[in-house]
Structure 1
């Protein structure tokens, strides 16, 4: 799994480290590049006024957060075009396809900027311009690669004219018109050529050379060389932009294996089915691909002993059989029972969250969903919704409960925190004790929960207003326990307070624990929120313009659950994607 993220803040430690790696790769893969030029792009990232272009760095990272490739893109807003300065892939056994993925991401960025075209230089495939046969072969491969995406050399100009008589392989100027039907006029082309030569090659190209090249443009519009290697790929880059304006949807397709059929068990597979049925009608979502992630991603949040216990006890269970914790070691936690099923009380804090053969597998599949969404958010997607069960927000570092086994929100926040600060907003009817316990001593993850007061609402032992965090985390945990019966107007005031706290914290990412159990007549809640209320809640949360992961938690009034979810996301989408104020 490869993610491609745009580095917007080079001062963050994680980004500074990545930039140093990019500089080393530049020196190795582009040996003709001077030390000064290899170092210069760092300054370009932060000083667009000096260089007269805005520079962006895109890095491709694998599942282990290792650098696999990168691209450096220049945007010149005064002339409305982009210039791809460098693109490189780290050689390796599994590097196939990474270059194409990076180029598509750069192309997507150029389209989002609504520029006239994406320009870049590529060494020539003409033997008259390149005497070195080995280089010539590589040049042909590169140009064939770009042709697949519709990019071809500009013809009928002298851009590839030698600056010095001894030069070999002077580059073509290549244009990707980004699927547009509009042509670039002669007047605009001259300005673009001049800007590239002056802003990028000022130390190499004098005014005489620049004037000679720009005056060589005589066609009324820029002409591209015909396709000579392969047919153009049937890629519609504008469809990618349309898809970007949808919410990424990740569905845990393994959720249904965790099906407890005992009477009264409300956390059932039909919850996902009913939500998905209604969301499919909206056209607001595009389904994302779920990747497999290593167990260490879970162990970054959960205790290893707990993880291994849950895996082994579930594996030991007979098909169709469930065990509910009933012995709790408050007196002697040292001498644990040998029988795994009896030992459940060591890792659980209630008597109604069962262990069965598939609980671990379903919860683990949910982790893959939330991490797949997380990496897409890191790559630059604005929002993602993880539709999964069993839920997760009650799971603590070493304990399950409240139908929850792994804390999906916390696992997402932990991975996001490697890039920047994170806020978690839990709007489930029940307190998000899991996130609170996991991040209680940290200040890089802000945890906020609006919920029924623990004097009457599960989990009863946490969620009080005076739980503010500890040590470095003091002041970074907020609980808003509300009355058993409240109006939506009262709730709305509290939600606005939460939004103010999030804005003050100003995180790089937002994680929302979406509980729909605040709906009227939900069997586990006491509030009476309507579809209109959920639409308003979605609208308010969508107005927070942070990259957002929404993770499904509670909500058990199954026959109307999908409609409630639909109204929430209608409000969220309109506010996040359509309101640009």
Structure 2
């Protein structure tokens, strides 16, 4: 199994987030990767650097104007004489216009963001770009014949849509990996999202397509972030109708409840008969996670990995959430062990 990592992730560091009405230090922090790398080293696995890609590859799943904003946002912030971190203060909600992209920096930040929980700092673009390179490299390796790869992506990506950032996500790493596999000639790709929070960005990107199946198991959006997508009746549209499957689960769900949903979710993957699988690997389903509400124990990650690996599909695992920092490494390694 190939494991891909870039130290440039650490350039995205600092800032505060608005979490459930309070301004707090970001739960998504560089130490998450440090603990995953330590667990990887304990397991005796080696990591490789990602390949370099031209930024044009990001337009396969993201809008060009959004990418231009991300690339230049912090320089524009500095040009206004500011430093520190950027957070939006207003959004084009119901009754407001979305058909015009504003010219002012603060207006554009609110236009392209859907929450105030994803600060942009000086190194955000470089870190997000490197994370995407990890996912693209992992996908290219699978397309070339590797049975499984793991992209240690930070910042994560599954909340980033075609033209929006949020949920700590700026570029959608899993979507980029899935599209890369399609571009390599694989006719059908499945994306399985096991993060506690619904992968709203991935769902949006593939909503009207039948060549990429999206299946997500997550906390009920009636009470859990991102709140406004992830219900079971969201099935896709047009050519994509029936190729989107959501399994929202209540707070307090333990392995027994999760395993039942997982069995059905994996059944959809099997029925689709994909040429490869992309896994949005969020380990914030852990019982000790500070911003999540499931009750999976450490041993359950071994079970999770075994169930997914039993599909025997070429698999790209892409790191998403997991905010119990001390335990994140062991939980990720437990999943990877089923593939390694």
TM-score range, shorter chain: over 0.9
2:208 corresponds to 1:441:
yes
8 Å CA contact 1:454, 1:481 repeated in 2: yes
The offset of 1:334, in angstroms, is 4.9
The offset of 1:314, in angstroms, is 2.4
1:372 alignment partner, SS class: helix
The offset of 1:327, in angstroms, is 1.3
2:307 corresponds to 1:540:
yes
Q: Which one of the candidate residues 397, 400, 407 is aligned to 2:172? A: 407
2:263 corresponds to 1:464:
no
The offset of 1:487, in angstroms, is 2.2
**In the alignment, what sits opposite 2:28?**
267
**In the alignment, what sits opposite 1:483?**
250
Distance in 2, matches of 1:371 and 1:570, equals 22
Gaps of 5+ in 1: 1-246, 574-581
2:15 corresponds to 1:258:
no
8 Å CA contact 1:254, 1:362 repeated in 2: yes
Gaps of 5+ in 2: 17-23
2:338 alignment partner, SS class: helix
Deviations, residues 14-35 of structure 1 (Å, cap 9, x unaligned): xxxxxxxxxxxxxxxxxxxxxx
Which of structures 1 and 2 has the larger relative contact order (alpha carbons within 8 angstroms, sep 6+)? 2
**In the alignment, what sits opposite 1:350?**
115
2:30 corresponds to 1:276:
no
Normalised to the residue count of structure 1, the TM-score between the two structures is 0.55
Normalised to the residue count of structure 2, the TM-score between the two structures is 0.92
1:249 alignment partner, SS class: strand
2:79 corresponds to 1:310:
no
Query: Cα–Cα, structure 1 residues 282 and 320, in superposed 2: closer, same or farther, change >3 Å?
Result: farther
Number of equivalences: 326
2:216 alignment partner, SS class: strand
Please show how residues 385-400 of structure 1 align to structure 2 within 5 Å: 385-400=150-165
Query: Cα–Cα, structure 1 residues 320 and 547, in superposed 2: closer, same or farther, change >3 Å?
Result: farther
Query: Cα–Cα, structure 1 residues 446 and 258, in superposed 2: closer, same or farther, change >3 Å?
Result: same
The offset of 1:483, in angstroms, is 0.9
Q: Which one of the candidate residues 326, 334, 337 is aligned to 1:559? A: 326
2:192 corresponds to 1:432:
no
2:118 corresponds to 1:364:
no
Deviations, residues 99-132 of structure 1 (Å, cap 9, x unaligned): xxxxxxxxxxxxxxxxxxxxxxxxxxxxxxxxxx
8 Å CA contact 1:541, 1:572 repeated in 2: no
1:560 alignment partner, SS class: helix
Distance in 1, matches of 2:74 and 2:158, equals 20
Deviations, residues 412-454 of structure 1 (Å, cap 9, x unaligned): 1111112111000000000011111000110010000000010
8 Å CA contact 2:132, 2:153 repeated in 1: no
Distance in 2, matches of 1:522 and 1:405, equals 22
Distance in 1, matches of 2:148 and 2:339, equals 10
Distance in 2, matches of 1:315 and 1:520, equals 40
The offset of 1:288, in angstroms, is 2.9
Please show how residues 121-270 of structure 1 align to structure 2 within 5 Å: 247-262=1-16, 263-270=24-31
8 Å CA contact 2:148, 2:339 repeated in 1: no
Q: What stretches of structure 1 move > 6 A for 4+ residues in a row?
A: none
The offset of 1:341, in angstroms, is 3.2
2:90 corresponds to 1:327:
yes
Instruction: Output the aligned Cα RMSD.
Output: 1.4
8 Å CA contact 2:15, 2:121 repeated in 1: no
Deviations, residues 228-251 of structure 1 (Å, cap 9, x unaligned): xxxxxxxxxxxxxxxxxxx10111
- Mark the structure with the bigger radius of gyration: 1
